[in-house]
Structures are given as C-alpha cells and as structure tokens.
Amino acid sequence: MESTKLKDVITIQYVTPDNAVFTEKEGFLSLKFKTSDGEEKEYPRVKLQRNFPNETPEQFVSVLDKEDEEIAMIRDVSELGDAAAGMIRRELARRYFVFTIKKILYVNQKFGYSQWRVMTDEGEREFTVRDTYRNFRKIGTDRATVSDVDGNRYEISSLSGLDRASMKKIELYI
Amino acid sequence: MLEVSKMGSEVVPALSEHGIACEDVAVFAALDMDLDRSRADTYLVLTEKELAVLTGQTSSVGKPGKKFRKEFRETGFRSYDAAKIKELSIEEYVSTARVVCEYDGEDTVLAAMTKTVLRDARIFVKYAAPKLEGKEEEVNEDDFRDDRFCPRCGRRYPDPDRKICPHCMEKSKLYRRLFTFAKDYRRHMALVLLGIALTAAMGVAAPYFSTEFFYDRVLSQGDPWYGRIVTAALLVLLLKVGGMIVGAVSGVISARVTAKVTYQLKKTIFSAIERLSMSFFSARQTGGLMNQINNDSNEIYWFFMDGAPYFIKNVVQIAAALVIMFIMNVPLALCAIVVVPLFALTIRALFRRMNSLHARTYRSSRALNSSLSDALTGFRVVKAFSREKEETERFDRQSKRLARDSRSVTFFNNTAFPIATVIMYLSNIIVWGVGGWMAVTGAFGMTYGRLLAFLAYSNLMNEPMFMIVDMAYWFSGCTNGMQRLFEIADAEPDVRESAEPTSLGSMKGSVRFDNVVFSYEKGKKVIDGVSFEVGAGRSLGIVGKSGAGKSTLANLLMRLYDVDEGTVYIDGVDVKDLSFDELRRDVGIVSQETYLFVGSISDNIRYACPGATDEDVVKAAKLAGAHDFIVKLPDGYDTMIGFGYKELSGGERQRVSIARAILLDPRILILDEATAAMDTATERKIGEAVNELSRGRTVIMIAHRLSTLRDVDSLVVIDDGKLVESGTHEELIRAKGKYFDLYKLQLEALRNIGITEE
C-alpha cells in the first residue's frame, strides 16, 4: 500500500487572487475571503502575522481576524498581484516597524545595563538594554536586533555596512 | 482630571487655544510619536465633548535651575466628537502601538507610540473607554502613581522594573553599608591593615639593604659596616622572611573576615528573598537570580580578599618608593616618573582590549557548554533522528570558535604585555643612563650602590601599575554586585502581612471571591470581576481553557499575589487581614508544577509539618495513592529523590505532592491540575480519596479534564478571566452553555474510542 504523504494529509488554506480581495483604508486592511466551501465572509480589520519573520518575511504570512484566529495564509506576497501586494506590504511595514539603526553614537555598560544612543531613520534615539548579551540578537550573518527595557526593538540591517566607529562599540556583543 | 502622565504647564496654553480649559479635561496622557512615526509629543485629551489629539515638539529653554522652562510648539491638532467614538482600543505591534477606534462607523487611527509609553496609553484607554460609553471606571490610585522617575533628579530610571537611578546612587553609602556587616570584625580588620602596612614597609626597606647599604657600606672600606657580610645578608633575609610571614598572617585573617562577611551578606540576601512575594521571582528569572547572587557575592569576596589588600599595599609601596626616590635624588626621580603616564595609559588600553577578548572567550565557552549539555540531555532525540553527525559538526564549530578565541587571548597576553614591559624598561633605561652618568661624574652625590637602590625603587613603583590601572574596573564590578545584592535585601514584598492580623481561631473553610480583578501586568486583566462562593466543607470545581486564569484564582486565595480590586474572603474575613501563619497552615495547595526537593521521600512529604510521625506520613501517602509505588522501592520512604537522585515519573511526583498537602491537614485544599499527569485509573483512585478527604473540608479542584471533577458539589467556568457560568453539573448541562460544549466535546472523544457514559 502506498503511504500518504504529509502534504496530502493536511492542506493549508492559502490566499489567492481568486478567493481574496484586500482593501485598504486609513491605515487598516480589510479582507473579503471565499473559503474552499464557497462561503464568502468579510473581515473589516485583519492582522498580518509573519510566520518566519527572520528568514522569509514575505512568505507564509498569516491573515488573522479580530480574535487572532487564522483566516488563511499568504504563501508569497508577490503572488497576489501588485495592488494587493502593495497593500499587504504597507500593512506589514506598519506592524513590523522597528527603528533602523544607521549609526551607533554611544554605548556604555553600566550597572548591568547598557545605555545606547543611536541614529535611526527617525532621528536620534536613546534607550537602555538589560542583559545586553541576551537582548542583542544576531539574525543570519549580517543582521542584528536589540531590544530595550520597554520592549522596543531596534534593527541593524547590515552589520558589515556599519561604519568602523559604530562597529567597535558593539563588537563585544556580536 | 485623571493625569496618566503629568500635564506640563507648557501644554495648557496650546490646549486653551483650541477651547479646552484645564478643568474640562477628564483624562490626559502623553505619547511619544506622530502618526508618521517621527518623534513628537502627542497628547491625548478627553473632555466631556471631545477627544483631542494635540501634537507638537517640546523643547527646553534656559539653563537648568535658572529661568528654566519648557516650550511647546504645536504641529497638529485633531478633535474627535466624543459621541461618535466607539471601541477605543490599542493595537500592539512589534515595536510600536497605536490607539484606534471606530469613529462615525469608520476605523480610525488616533495616535501612535513606542512601547516606552504603552503603559500610559493602556491606562488612558482603561479610563477613557468607559467614559465614552457614559460609564465611570473606579479609579485605582496605582495607575496614577508615576514611579518611573528618580525622585531626586527627575531622570527616568533606566529600567522601569528596578528603581535605581545611576546618577543618584551613592557609592560611599554602599561601602559603608557593607562595613556594617564587618563591624564585629573591627579588630581583625585593624590587624589586617597593620599587616599590610608592615609588609609594605618591609618591602620598601629590603631594596635599600640589598643594594646601597650592601655596596656602599658593607663593601666599602672604612665604613663601620665594612665586611659584615653575614649580618647584612641576615638583615635582608629577615626583612624578606618577616614580610612574607606578616603578609601570610594578614592574608589568613582577611580571608576569614571576608569569608564571614560574604557569608552574612548571602544569608541576609537569602532571607530577604524568602520574604519576598511571588511577583519578584516572576519579574526576574529564577536561574538568573541564582547566578546573580552567587556571582555578585563572589565578586565582592575577591575584591576584598585580593583586590583591596593588594591595592592598599601597592599604593603604600608606590608612595613610599616615590618619597624615597625624591629624597635620594630629585632630578633622577623626575626622570624616572616621566614614563609613568605613558606606561599607565598603555596598560589601560591593553586591559580594555583584554577584557573584551576575555568576554568573547567567555561567551564562546558558554555557548559550547550549553550546546554540549543540550546534545547530551537530548541524546535520545539526537539518536532517534540520527543527527549525530550534525550534532558533532555543531560541537566542532563551537569548539573551533572557542579555540580561536582562547588563542587570541593567549596571543594577546604574550605580545601585548611584553610591549608594556618594554615601556616600563624605558624608565629603567633612562634611570640607567642618567644615573650612570651621575655616578661616573659624581654629580648629585650619586654612588654605584645608590644607583642600584634607585633602580630597585623605580621597579617597585612600576610593577604594581599593572594592577592598579585595572582597579577601577574591579572596583566598579564590586560596586555593581553590592548594589544588586542590597537591592534584593531592600526590595519590599508587595504582599505584606497585616500588622494586626485577625485570628479565626479555627478556620471553617468557607471561601468567597467578591468581584475580584487582578492583573500580573498593568492594564492586562487576567481576572476580571470574578465572584463565587464555596461553603465550608463543600467542594468546588473550576473549569476553563488553559490560560483562562484558573491557577491565578488559587494564587489569589493563597495570597501569593494580592487582588487589584475586589476582595477574597475566608470565613467572611478578608484574606489580607489573616496572618500568614494561619493562611498557610489552613490552606494547602497541590499545584500543577510539582516541585520536590533533594532529600528522601519522607522528607518531602513531611516538608510542611516536620513533626509528623511516620504513621501519619504513611497514611498521607496511602490517601494520595503514593504508598503503592513507594513500597516497591528498595529504600522505601527513605529513597532519595530530587535532582541527581532517583527520577520519579510525573504521576508519582504529583502523588508525593498530594501526600505533602494532605499531611498538612488544611481546612481548605486546593488541587490545581494535581492529577493531570496520572493515568485514568490512578486518577480515579485519588478522586475517591479526595472525596473521603473532602468530608468536613473545603476542596477546590482545578482541572480541564471534566472527569476529574465528577464529584464536586458545584462548578464555575472561567473563560478569559471572567466567570461565565456557575452551578452544579446538572444545572450547567441544562443551561447548554460553555460547560455543556466542553462536556460534549470530551464525551465525544470518549465515544470515539468506544466508551459511553454509564
């Protein structure tokens, strides 16, 4: 007897251009979705959740309803056509916004905390990091994030792109 | 006005320009972003008629103290009709959040913020949302007590959970406080200081006798000391040996004192920890806490054991050497110290680099250790999926990294320090050159012996530099450690025993929750207005999904945490008024996470009442169904269990903890998923035992498996922190609500495997 493959046992409900219509208004994303049973439903406010935020931020993005229940999954944002993809990317950018560090002006370890002053795309910001080794996280080979005591996250999108002076300040944590 | 954040005087004129007077404001909060995520001061202002969002930039004008004021420059103002706002809420994102609502039927974003002020926004919504619906939320003072700023300098604490201001911390106070621990050892410490001073003095005297004295007097004809070589040699030997003995004695004394002081420090910290409330432990991970206490006290130990005595000794030595050098020959002394600043700076730079190399090595070794222990504890999984090769590779990678890092440390040590030594020699060479010229020409009364003495002293001055330069680093480590330890010692428990506790005499065991509200984290209610009652001697089942808040109810009854609002009563008395003793003696809990201490089974069962007889222990074990498996163990009740000894299975551990609670014989027994890890037959047996027990005793059972709760008198269903249903099993089945759904679901699961309700 031929054994069933995992992929035949369970199917993932994907969002396709045929079964979903996204609309965007004033910073909110809504979805009209037809399930495989042909049932159509409207969701005025949907949430997007990246399943692999670090590796493939545009693939396997879950669409959740108000109660955080998954409606369906986006296999790849670019599959959905330019208009929808644009809306989804904007919503993702809103939801996953983190400050991007361009330059590190100051890092000082004091009393178990490190004080940081950095230049981001949104201007200069200061923050405090507790247990720096744990809260400084390298992602892949060239990216890193650091989370402060309040839960804000800052990203260094390219470690190799940092200037020497900035790099020297964070060398220890990499 | 409810000021979630202080309304600064600079905002008032801007608001009045838009027709909002201070006295009209009902709720006020300050956020930190504009809608485009740029940094901005955004104010949420709720009045009777409108919700206004004022945006702008605040800047400081004038010097601190003198004509200092803040200026607000408005960049935007939006007003929303209060009557049209619905569903005011917060959407939380990865690093930001926003306040949203339904305005006139349209989803609308009101304001954005970073997580730094999320708490403020939550509190704003907590009070503003009911107001918009025409209701009033009861004001909880805690929400408005802003304790995120240092009361002395007004700066924000770096960590909102730790009220320590690095600017206002007084280091001297810390050290003085540490010395209060050492006050019984004052005489010892005086001895240690004397010892250090003596060693230093002998250390300084020795070079004189081995150089100038020896060459210029013992070896020069005509001097009264001429030829007395043996005496001179004995003198030098005496100084050396004497210094060594005094040093050793004072070392022994200081080791004893330091060890005792750190022991007392640890004891103080530990008893402080035991006193603290649960919330303290959840805020810091327990493992981290353990490490921290150990590391910190070790740091203090080594600082006072090694660091401080050496430091004092060396400082004395350097000072003495300098004085002697200047007395001997001023110009040459000046030559000798010319290099010192260069030398000190070089060492400082080297140490910085070395510390960072060491930190990196430490990290790689930690990573290696953790992956090693990961692979070894998980070897079953590794083997099952035949990942040996990958694990080996992973280990190899990390091992290589550690090797590389250790190599760079060694390389650094072997190259950098010789360089520093060369710089030190520079000073020697200068002294040789200049001093040699002086000796040859006889300038400044320089002799051969004196030159040698001078060289010895200049080395005496240079050598301790290696250590003294690193002292600041060492010192700050010790200060940190002390700060953290005293912080624990000073932490105030949130749950405090009433000063004049009410005594119930003998507890009957009736429990009543009255409109209880509780949250672990501000603004996130875990328990929301729960009320129920259990009569004395009755039993109650608490049902609900995992994460619904069931265990929290048990924690509140035990008073491991205090309620935010509402009251928990036992026998009609607020639990806050009961003494801890009475509460803990008469309320027993078997919780989900069973913890057994290292020790014998009987020790563990006896934990809460050490005086219990063996007979009682066996009885309790029998009731808890533990006796059956204990008799099969070769050592019976004396079998050692816990970390590193015999591993009990999940169900066995639960049975031992039930026995522990039963032995306490509490009036109120809480079983929090206490039988979840047992097989159905054992669970049934224990259920019967609990039924026996519940006669004349209040039993509260928490479970998600409904079969566990077959015999309870009444049930409450908790969902999302709220009590959704209550009643007897029959009543709830008839009501066809949540309980019925759950019941149906579990019944179906049984039917699927061919079991029907009898």
pLDDT of residue A89: 93
* Domain shared by A65 and A140, yes or no: no
Q: Which residue in chain B has the smallest CA separation from A28?
A: B107
* Domain shared by B696 and B555, yes or no: yes
Which chain B residues contact residue A133 at CB under 8 A?
363
Residue A168 sits at φ, ψ, to 5 deg, of: -60, -35
Q: With 80 as the cut, is the pLDDT of residue B732 above it? A: yes
Q: With 70 as the cut, is the pLDDT of residue B282 above it? A: no
Tell if the CB–CB gap between A96 and B360 is shorter than 8 Å: no
* Domain shared by A88 and A20, yes or no: yes
**Residue A1, in any domain of the structure:** no
Count of domains forming chain A: 2
Q: Collapsing DSSP states into helix, strand and coil, what is residue B534?
A: strand
CATH number of the structural domain spanning residue B69: 2.30.29
Per run of 10 residues, the mean pLDDT along chain A (length 174 residues) is 67 87 88 86 90 89 88 91 91 90 87 83 85 83 89 91 89 77
Count of domains forming chain B: 3
pLDDT of residue B283: 58
* Domain shared by B109 and B11, yes or no: yes
Per-residue pLDDT tens over the stretch B354-369? 877 887 888 788 888 8
pLDDT of residue B66: 63
pLDDT of residue A3: 64
**Residue B631, in any domain of the structure:** no
pLDDT of residue B166: 66
B306 vs A167: which has the higher pLDDT: A167
**Residue B636, in any domain of the structure:** no
Over range B518-541, report the average pLDDT.
85
Cβ distance B401 to B364 under 8 Å?
A: yes
Tell if the CB–CB gap between A97 and B114 is shorter than 8 Å: no
Nearest one of B513, B512, B496, B562 to B140, comparing CA atoms? B562
Of B299, B328, B357, the domain-final residue: B328
Q: What is the ipTM of this complex?
A: 0.87
* Distance (Å) of CA B153 to CA B117, B149, B164, B623: 20, 8, 12, 61
pLDDT of residue A22: 92
H or E stretch at B101: strand B96-103
Of B328, B354, B380, the domain-final residue: B328
* Domain shared by B64 and B200, yes or no: no
Per-residue pLDDT tens over the stretch B217-269? 777 777 787 878 888 888 888 888 888 898 888 888 888 888 888 888 888 87
pLDDT of residue B758: 44
For residue B313, give its domain range.
Answer: 172-328
Greatest CA separation for chain B: 122
Per-residue pLDDT tens over the stretch B415-448? 887 887 888 788 888 888 888 888 888 777 788 8
Over range B23-41, report the average pLDDT.
87
Of A70, A95, A120, the domain-final residue: A95
* Domain shared by B185 and B301, yes or no: yes
* Domain shared by A13 and A85, yes or no: yes
Cβ distance B562 to B493 under 8 Å?
A: no
Q: With 60 as the cut, is the pLDDT of residue B287 above it? A: no
pLDDT of residue B80: 92
Q: With 60 as the cut, is the pLDDT of residue B654 above it? A: yes
Tell if the CB–CB gap between B39 and A123 is shorter than 8 Å: yes
Q: Collapsing DSSP states into helix, strand and coil, what is residue B325?
A: helix
* Domain shared by A70 and A11, yes or no: yes
Q: Tell how strand B587-590 and strand B668-672 pair up.
A: parallel
* Domain shared by B127 and B221, yes or no: no
* Distance (Å) of CA B607 to CA B274, B628, B662: 16, 20, 11
* Domain shared by A152 and A90, yes or no: no
Cβ distance B543 to B600 under 8 Å?
A: no
Of B303, B328, B353, the domain-final residue: B328
Cβ distance B535 to B541 under 8 Å?
A: no
* Domain shared by A54 and A75, yes or no: yes
* Domain shared by A43 and A57, yes or no: yes
**Residue B412, in any domain of the structure:** no
pLDDT of residue B455: 85
**Residue B452, in any domain of the structure:** no
Q: With 60 as the cut, is the pLDDT of residue B86 above it? A: yes
Of A95, A128, A149, the domain-final residue: A95
* Domain shared by A16 and A32, yes or no: yes
**Residue B317, in any domain of the structure:** yes
**Residue B263, in any domain of the structure:** yes
Of A36, A67, A95, the domain-final residue: A95
Over range B402-423, report the average pLDDT.
86
Query: Which bin fits A77, alpha (ψ -120 to 50), beta or left (φ > 0)?
Result: alpha
**Residue B642, in any domain of the structure:** no
Q: With 60 as the cut, is the pLDDT of residue B556 above it? A: yes
Q: With 80 as the cut, is the pLDDT of residue B61 above it? A: no
Over range B17-37, report the average pLDDT.
88
Per-residue pLDDT tens over the stretch B592-629? 777 888 889 999 999 888 888 999 999 999 988 889 89
* Domain shared by B203 and B126, yes or no: no
Nearest to B107 among A26, A111, A150 (CB): A26
Nearest to B159 among A123, A128, A154 (CB): A128
| Burial grade of B608 (CB within 10 A; 0-12, 13-18, 19 or more) | middle
* Domain shared by A25 and A70, yes or no: yes
Cβ distance B536 to B571 under 8 Å?
A: yes
Tell if the CB–CB gap between A94 and B93 is shorter than 8 Å: yes
**C-alpha to C-alpha distance for A39 and A33, rounded to whole angstroms:** 8
Per-position DSSP letters for B718-756, written without gaps between them = EETTEEEEEE-HHHHHHHTSHHHHHHHHHHHHHHHTT--
Cβ distance B561 to B735 under 8 Å?
A: no
CATH number of the structural domain spanning residue B677: 3.40.50.300
Q: How far is B15 from chain A (nearest CA, A)?
A: 26
Q: How many CA atoms lie within 13 A of B210 on its CB side?
A: 14
Q: How far is B259 from chain A (nearest CA, A)?
A: 24
* Domain shared by B229 and B279, yes or no: yes
Which chain B residues contact residue A25 at CB under 8 A?
106-107
Q: Which residue in chain B has the smallest CA separation from A66?
A: B91
H or E stretch at B441: helix B388-441
Q: How far is A46 from chain B (nearest CA, A)?
A: 12
Nearest to B109 among A27, A99, A172 (CB): A27
Tell if the CB–CB gap between B94 and A95 is shorter than 8 Å: yes
Tell if the CB–CB gap between A150 and B115 is shorter than 8 Å: yes
Per-residue pLDDT tens over the stretch B199-213? 888 888 888 877 777
* Domain shared by B275 and B180, yes or no: yes
Q: How far is B183 from chain A (nearest CA, A)?
A: 27
Nearest to B159 among A96, A113, A133 (CB): A113
* Domain shared by A13 and A53, yes or no: yes
**Residue A125, in any domain of the structure:** yes
For residue A19, give its domain range.
Answer: 6-95
pTM of the predicted structure, to 2 decimals: 0.67
**Residue B78, in any domain of the structure:** yes
Cβ distance B370 to B398 under 8 Å?
A: no
* Domain shared by A129 and A50, yes or no: no
Angle between helices B308-328 and B186-210 (to 10 degrees): 40
* Domain shared by B100 and B242, yes or no: no
Tell if the CB–CB gap between A44 and B166 is shorter than 8 Å: no
Which chain B residues contact residue A112 at CB under 8 A?
480, 484
* Domain shared by A110 and A154, yes or no: yes
Q: Which residue in chain B has the smallest CA separation from A171?
A: B356
Indicate the average pLDDT of chain B: 83
Residue B124 sits at φ, ψ, to 5 deg, of: -55, -50
